[in-house]
Copies of this chain bind each other. A is one copy, B any other.
Amino acid sequence: MDILDLLKEACNQVYYQTRGLVGTKQGNEKLGRGAGGDISRRIDVVAEAAVMEIVKKHNFNPTIVAEESGTINGEDDGFLVMDAIDGTTNTSRAIPFYCCSLAYAKDVKLASVIDAAIIDLSRGDLYHASDQRGAFMNNTQIQVSKSLKFADSDNLDDILVGLNLSGASPGVIMSLLKVISNVNHIRQFGANALELCYLARGFLDAYIDIRGKIRATDLAAAYLIVKEAGGKLYSTDGLKLDSEIDNKARISFLAVSSDEIFARLADYMQISS
């Protein structure tokens, strides 16, 4: 069994099993808190069960790190890391931007992810990557934006930067003040993993979430997809991003299409790069 194929099959299974629940009272029903600490809605639980079903069908038994179920030790090597629904708030109103994010890692670190699949559950677009083999959308290779150069210009007119500002503290907002006021095009669609796929395919030039609220589990698949599309991820101390993957670890990061863009953003944010 090819693990990447399993992740893609599981993504498609989540797509089929959750379609009827999006925006419905049944799908939105709150069922208590998952292992990750967030409120679980029925759609989250159904999506996670859909992934588990595919894993079981293939007699695959890695350690599973999941938002609702927590960590389930397995007998096989490696770690299956899932955020079965990213963008739950969007699903609650049927705002068409939410995804399922699945990663397989050799070790419990972001840098150890070797296979990744993310499905845009509204459109059905399937993103995937594997280590050293590039990133793809619907099996067509994707790359981060390449056309933007700052050498001759201070002009940020055409740069698009995704920000996660939801519930950002006043301190976080102040750190982003120069980014917001200097960038002409800010975006926030409401599902981190899918926004990072937008970066990977050249829709955004950077994506920043420095609230310290995102779980490493939520980022695992997108981390590899961004890297394989030619992008880079940095922590707020200006170093290459890495993190333990577990349900409790919360991270802050900047994902960028180029080091030139990172240098500019780091300057605005007073990060020493």
Contacts and interface: CB of A to CB of B under 8 A. Distances in A.
Contact of A165 (B160, B186, B198): B186
A166 B186 contact: yes
Given A163-B165, A188-B188, 15 more contacts: A93-B203, A95-B160, A95-B187, A165-B180, A166-B184, A167-B184, A167-B185, A168-B180, A169-B181, A170-B177, A170-B181, A173-B173, A173-B177, A185-B190, A187-B188
Contacts of A166: 183-186
Contacts of A92: 158
A163 B166 CA distance: 11
Name the 3 nearest CB pairs between A and B, nearest first.
A165-B186, A167-B184, A188-B188
Contact of A93 (B169, B170, B202): B202
A101 to B, nearest CB: 19
A89 interface: yes
Q: How large is the interface on A (under 10, 10 to 19, 20 to 34, 35 or more residues)?
A: 20 to 34
A203 B166 CA distance: 16
Given A95-B198, A160-B89, A203-B93, A167 B187 contact: no
A60 interface: no
Interface in A219-250: none
A166 B186 CA distance: 5
A209 to B, nearest CB: 12
Interface string A174-196: 00010011011111111000000
A216 B163 CA distance: 27
Contacts of A180: 165, 168, 173
10 contacts: A89-B158, A93-B160, A94-B203, A167-B184, A167-B185, A168-B181, A170-B177, A173-B180, A173-B181, A186-B188
A33 to B, nearest CB: 13
B190 A167 contact: no
A165 B184 CA distance: 8
Nearest to A162: B188
Interface in A63-87: none
Contacts of A168: 180-181, 186
